[in-house]
Amino acid sequence: MASKKILVLGGGAGGVVAANNLIKKLGEEAEITLIDKSGYHVFQPSQLWVMTGQREPDDIRRPLKLLERKGVKVLVEEVKSIKPEEHVVQTSSGNIHYDYLIVALGSLPEPEKIPGYAGNVCTPWTIDGALKCRRLLAGFKGGSIVIAPVSWPYKCPPAPFEAAFMARYLAEQRGVKADVTVVHFWKEPMEPFGPMMVGAFKKFLDQYRVGFVGNVEVESFQENYLVTRGGEKIKYDLAIAVPPHSPPEPIAKSDLGDQSIWGYMKVDKNTLRAPKYDNIYGVGDVIAPSLGIGMAGVFAHFQAEYVASKIIDDIKGAYMGEHYNMSGVCVMDMGYVGAAVYCDFTRKIMAGEYPDCVILGGMKAFRAIKYAFEKYWLSKWF
């Protein structure tokens, strides 16, 4: 008989890994329920391939209801609020009680908050936005393309560079003359990752003729000009923007959220538990600001394995599971080649220092690895 009720909020990278691991090890020893408002899991790194025409939206998403075949109960409902004192989550259709809660609600990219999001401005940070980018790239007859994040934090810190390399490759493949430039608020490319990564990215930018303008805050996109906070104007014919991101509302408005980190969820760095509530864990983008790291699926994945292990151990009495692996690998498709970046974030999370990073390669084989990982991901969890 199921005794403990485990509630997983969110069916993204963190939520599906947690739910899969829990059901595999606990079976009927627990009732595992996953709640997601969209009903779909989206493999977001592939949104860049939706932009470049290599994928259609249905290629990169899976209905979460497929998890029911494994025994996970899936509710397609919106989480409205969390009442930690009462161990209750309120959804669009009622109250649900839990013994353990895993919050994996991510962060919300909001294209409508890009100042001047119209015409020839698009964003692959959402699927609709990626389709718009594809239409704009299809009609691009030459000129300048800028790639610009509007604010921090945003998902996948290196992704604007990846998008820039892809745009440069696409133009070149088509024989269209294009100046491609990343306009960023960092002074140098990948600045928070330390001098080694800055050097490696500068080399890639030089090699593939992508410009970089740093230390620039975007004020707005106006007609064909990006206007900076300093009043400067940077011309573009096509702009790929990274939208402002917001914390999930149920977190921001509960005492799980912390205003000093924009309303995202606060957790203990060692346990990933909410400081005041022993039975509530956070994983993924929603806790990235609390740990002081970027938002990435690889973090969500490892954190979910760790948190699931802790709950399994608690319920079973003894279970040697996954430790909290604070490292991350990001494989980028740059068109010409693929490149993989590996960083161990232990020193970053624990002491606020630079992560220890290495570039694993700039070669064709890494594009194949990226393709293979997408296939592995969607077949492993569904």
- Residues contributing to the site for ligand FAD (CB under 6 A): 10-15, 35-38, 44-45, 47-48, 78-79, 104-106, 124-125, 155-156, 159, 248, 250, 284-286, 295-298, 300, 330
Q: Could you tell me which residues come within 8 angstroms of residue 33 by beta carbon, excluding any fewer than 6 positions away? A: 5, 6, 7, 8, 72, 73, 74, 75, 96
* Helix %, strand %, coil % of the chain (to 5): 35, 30, 35
- Cα of first residue to Cα of last residue in the chain, in angstroms, is 25
Min dist. Cβ of residue 201 to ligand FAD (A) = 15
Min dist. Cβ of residue 230 to ligand FAD (A) = 28
Q: Which is nearer to ligand FAD, 13 or 26 (CB)?
A: 13
Alpha-carbon gap, residue 268 to 256, rounded angstroms: 12
Q: Which is nearer to ligand FAD, 13 or 216 (CB)?
A: 13
Q: Which is nearer to ligand FAD, 224 or 271 (CB)?
A: 271
The CA distances from residue 1 to 5, 27, 28, 30, 67, in Å, are: 11, 10, 6, 8, 20
The CA distances from residue 347 to 152, 269, 301, 352, 354, in Å, are: 21, 12, 19, 7, 7
Min dist. Cβ of residue 3 to ligand FAD (A) = 25
Min dist. Cβ of residue 50 to ligand FAD (A) = 9
Alpha-carbon gap, residue 337 to 359, rounded angstroms: 13
Q: Which is nearer to ligand FAD, 228 or 369 (CB)?
A: 369
Min dist. Cβ of residue 105 to ligand FAD (A) = 4
Structure tokens at 359: 């570039």
Q: Which is nearer to ligand FAD, 127 or 183 (CB)?
A: 127
Q: Which is nearer to ligand FAD, 248 or 362 (CB)?
A: 248
Alpha-carbon gap, residue 256 to 89, rounded angstroms: 13
In the numeric block, the tokens 């064909």 are attached to 224
Cβ contact 187:317 at 8 Å? no
Q: Which is nearer to ligand FAD, 228 or 247 (CB)?
A: 247
Min dist. Cβ of residue 5 to ligand FAD (A) = 17
Alpha carbon of residue 5 to chain centroid: 28
Q: Which is nearer to ligand FAD, 95 or 215 (CB)?
A: 95
Helices (H), 175-295: 195-207, 249-252, 288-291
Q: Is 171 helix (H, G, I), strand (E, B) or coil?
A: helix
Min dist. Cβ of residue 347 to ligand FAD (A) = 20
Q: Could you tell me which residues come within 8 angstroms of residue 42 by beta carbon, excluding any fewer than 6 positions away? A: 12, 60, 61, 127
Report which residue's Cβ sits closest to ligand FAD: 12
Alpha-carbon gap, residue 216 to 93, rounded angstroms: 45
Cβ contact 5:35 at 8 Å? no
Min dist. Cβ of residue 232 to ligand FAD (A) = 27
Structure tokens at 346: 């232990």
Min dist. Cβ of residue 177 to ligand FAD (A) = 26
Q: Which is nearer to ligand FAD, 218 or 341 (CB)?
A: 341
In sequence order, the β-bridge partners of residue 363 are 338
Q: Which is nearer to ligand FAD, 28 or 358 (CB)?
A: 358
Min dist. Cβ of residue 104 to ligand FAD (A) = 4
